[in-house]
Structure 1
Amino acid sequence: MKTSQNHKVRLLLAASVASLMAFTAPAVLAEDAAPTTTQTYKPWAGAAGQQMKSMIAELKTKIAAAEQSQAASPDFLEDLKATVSKYEAMQNSGGAAAPATKIFFDDFSDGDFTSNPTWKVSAGTWAIDQGGTNKGLVSKVRPQKVNLNNVLGALLSNQQGTAQNQFASIYTPVKIPNAFSLKVTLTSKDKQGGLNLGAYQGASGSTLYRMVYQPGAAPGIAIQKVTAQGATTLGGLNSVVNLEDGKPHTLLFTRDAAGKMAVKLDDKEVATATDTSIKGDMAGLLFINSGGAYYLRDVTVMSN
C-alpha cells in the first residue's frame, strides 16, 4: 500500500514540475523563432508570471506535505526542491538564470590577514608574503606522516599545543550558500604534504565539503565530505598531480543546488561527485596544510 502511495505522490509531483517547465518552454521557443527585428514593446508576461509564481508556491506546499508524511524518498524530494529553486530563480530574474553573486574575496594585498576580511589561525603558522614569485597567504609545515583523511574539521578552536608540528589550519567566518563556487589561486613550493580547501558548517567546523590536493599521490585531486563520522572521498582524479613548477595554479571547486560538485585545475575538470547529505548554508572557509609550503594568492567565493 505504501509503495502504491509513493508512486502516486511521485506522479503528482512530477506532473507539477512538468507543468512548471511548460510555462518557460513557450517563451524560449518564441524567442528562437522571432525575426531579428527591433521590437517597440516587449510582451507583457504579467498573467503567466503570476500563474508560475502560484504553481511554484503550490509545488512547495506539496513537497513539504510529502516530507512530513514520508510519502516519497528524501533523495527524490531533494531533487524536486533543486528543480523548484531553479525555476523560482528564473522567474524572479525575468526568465533568465539568476546571476552568480560574489560573496567573498581576498588577495591579501593589504599585507594583513587578521582584518578586512578576518582570518583566524587555529594551528601552525600563517603569514603574508608580498614579494617574489611566491606571494600571498603562506603556510609552511615540516613534512609529517599525517593522513589527510584524519585531519577533519573541529579546527576552529586553537590547536597550537598539539598540532603545531603536524599541520597548519586557518579559517574565516562567512555565510556561504549550499550551492557555491570556491576559487583559489596558489603556488606550491614543496612536494610534500597535502592541502585541503573547503566550506564548513557549525561552530566547530566539523562538517564540511572540501577539495584536496595531495602532491605525488593518487588521487592527486579529490572531493571529500567531512562529518563527525570521518572523511569520505566522494570523487577524485586517480592519478598523480604535481603543481610544484614555480607557477601559480587555479583550483575551482563548484557545487550546485542538486549537490553536484566538480573541481577544475587550471580550467580543466579533474574530479566530480554528487552528495546532498550536508544541507543548509555553510558558515565559513577552512584551509588545512598538512606538510607543504603553500602560497594562496587569492580566494574568491561566489553563489551558484
Structure 2
Amino acid sequence: MMKAFGKRPLLLGLFFCAAFVANTPNAFSQTGSFGQAPNGPAPNSQADSTRALVDELNALLEKGERERLIDPWFLRDLQTVIGKYDRPWSDILLQDDFSARGPQPDPPWQVTAGEFLIDWRHGLRSVIEPNATNQSAQSGSQSKDEKDIGKALLGALLQGALQGSQSGNQSGSQGSGTQQQSSGQAQFAAVQAALPISNAFSIDVTFSLRPLVNGTEEGFELGPYQGATASSGYRLSYIAADRSLQLLKVSSRGVSTIDGARLANDLTDGQAHQLNWTRDQDGGMTIHIDGQAVIAVTDRSFRESFDGFAVLNRGGDFAMRDVTIAGVSN
C-alpha cells in the first residue's frame, strides 16, 4: 500500500504537466507564414518556458522508469505525448521563403552548377530538360542492381557538383553566378548555402517536382555537408522512377546507404510537399514527408557540426518554396 501511495504524487504531477504541454501551442514555431510573427507571447520567452517544462517532464520520466514508479504502458504514452513537443532545435539558422526579387537567390545561397533561379510563383526553381540520349537510355526497364548503382552515383554526383564550383571559379568557366557544364545541355543543377549547422538539426523544406517528359527519371538530393568542398555529409535522395527515398552517407570512403523507403504517393505531381528532417544529439534521425514518418534511424558517423546545406536537381522541374533550418545551442 505504501508503495502504491508513493506513486501517486509522481503520476499526478506527470498527468497534469502532460495535459499542460498538450494544450500549449508549439513554442518553436518562431515565425508564421513567410516570416510573420504569430500571436501570443514573445517567441523566445515562450520557447524557453516550454523547453524548461519539457526538460522537467523528461527528468521525472527518467526517475519513474529508473525506480519503476510508473506503469510501462502509461510511461510509453507519456513519452509519446511529450515527444511531440520536445524540440531542442530552438535556434533558427536559416529561414528563407525566396521572396527576393532575383533572379539570383540572396546569400548565403550560391549556385554551383546549372541554374537555380527565383520564381515568384514557385520559389527557388531549377528546370533540367532531358536530352534525347538520356531519354532513350532511360526508357528501358532497370534492374535492381542498376537502380542501386544509380542511387550511389547520385550521391557522388552531388559531391562532384559542389566540389566543381571551386575549379570553375579558378578556370573562369562561370557565367552569371552559375557553373557552366561541359555538355550543351545541363544534366543537373546544384545550389548550396554555406552556414554553420549544429550536429543536431531540424530541416523543413516545402518543395514541388514536376516531370517534363514521361519516362525520364526525375529526382533531387539535399542535405547538410561538412568541409569547404562539401566532400562529406548526409544526403537525402529521391528517385521518382520507383518512388524511393534514400538516406545516404557521403565520405572520403564513398557513398553508402543508411536507410531507405518506398513512398506510397508520387511526389512528381507538381503539388507542394512538406519535408521535415530532424536529427537529435544522439544521432537519431527521423524524416517525414507530408506529415508521414518514412525513415527513422540512428547514425553517428558525423559527430561534428556541419558547414552548410546543399540541394541538387537531377531532372525535371524542381522548386523549393521555403526552407527553414534550426539547430541547438552549444
TM-score in terms of structure 2 length: 0.59
Report the residue type matching 2:238 in the other structure: Y
TM-fit CA distance, 1:95: 3.5
1:268 aligns with 2:292: yes
CA contact (8 A) 1:100 1:302 kept: yes
Contact 1:187 1:296 in 2 (8 A): yes
**1:140 maps to what in 2?**
127
Look up the match of 2:189.
Answer: 168
Report the Cα offset of residue 152 of structure 1: 3.9
1:204 deviates by: 0.3
What's the CA shift for 1:241? 4.7
1:105 aligns with 2:92: no
Contact 1:211 1:253 in 2 (8 A): no
Contact 2:103 2:119 in 1 (8 A): no
2:253 counterpart (198, 205, 229): 229
The 1:33/1:151 distance shift into structure 2, 3 A limit, reads closer
Contact 2:128 2:189 in 1 (8 A): yes
* Structure-2 residue corresponding to 1:203: 228
Per the alignment, do residues 198 and 30 of structure 1 end up closer, same or farther by CA in structure 2, a change over 3 Å counting? same
Give the match's secondary structure for 2:315: coil
**Secondary structure, in 3 states, of the residue corresponding to 2:234?**
strand
CA–CA separation in structure 1 for the residues paired with 2:287 and 2:54: 28
Shift of 1:243: 1.4
Decide whether aligned partners of structure 1 residues 217 and 32 sit closer, same or farther in structure 2, where only a CA change above 3 A counts: closer
AA in 2 matched with 1:109: S
The answer on 1:121 being equivalent to 2:127 is no
The residue matched to 1:234 in structure 2 has which SS? Answer: strand
Q: Do the aligned residues in 2 keep the contact of 1:178 with 1:279 (CA within 8 Å)?
A: yes
The residue correspondences of 1:1-304 to structure 2 (distance < 5 A) are 31-32=13-14, 95=56, 98=88, 100-112=90-102, 114=104, 116-131=106-121, 135-143=122-130, 144=134, 147-154=153-160, 155-156=162-163, 157=165, 158=168, 160-162=180-182, 165-190=186-211, 192-217=217-242, 220-238=244-262, 241-303=265-327
For residue 248 of structure 1, report the CA deviation from its aligned partner: 0.4
The share of aligned pairs that are identical, in percent, is: 33
- Give CA-to-partner distance per residue, 1:18-51, whole Å, 9 cap, x none: xxxxxxx9x966833889xxxxxxxxxxxxxxxx
Once residues 101 and 263 of structure 1 are traced to their aligned partners in structure 2, the CA distance between those partners, rounded to angstroms, is 19
CA distance in 1, matches of 2:193, 2:15: 49
Structure 1 residue 112, shift from structure 2 partner? 3.0
Query: Which stretches in structure 1 are left out of the alignment for 5+ residues?
Result: 1-24, 36-89
Shift of 1:233: 1.2
Relative to structure 1, the CA distance from residue 28 to residue 102 in structure 2 (aligned partners, 3 Å threshold; closer, same or farther) is: farther
TM-score, normalised to structure 1, is 0.64
Distance of aligned partners of 1:115 and 1:249 in 2 relative to their CA distance in 1, 3 Å threshold? closer
**Structure 2 unmatched ranges of 5 or more:** 1-6, 18-50, 58-85, 139-149, 169-178
Say if 1:109 and 1:230 are closer, same or farther in 2 by CA, change over 3 A: same
Contact 1:196–1:289 (Cα < 8 Å) also in 2: yes
User: Whole-Å Cα distance in 1 between the matches of residues 229 and 309 of structure 2?
Assistant: 12
How many residue pairs get aligned? The number is: 222
Offset at residue 92 of structure 1 (A): 11
Cα-Cα RMSD:
3.1
Kindly state the Cα deviation for residue 139 of structure 1 after the two structures are TM-superposed: 0.5
- Matched to 1:171, the amino acid is Q
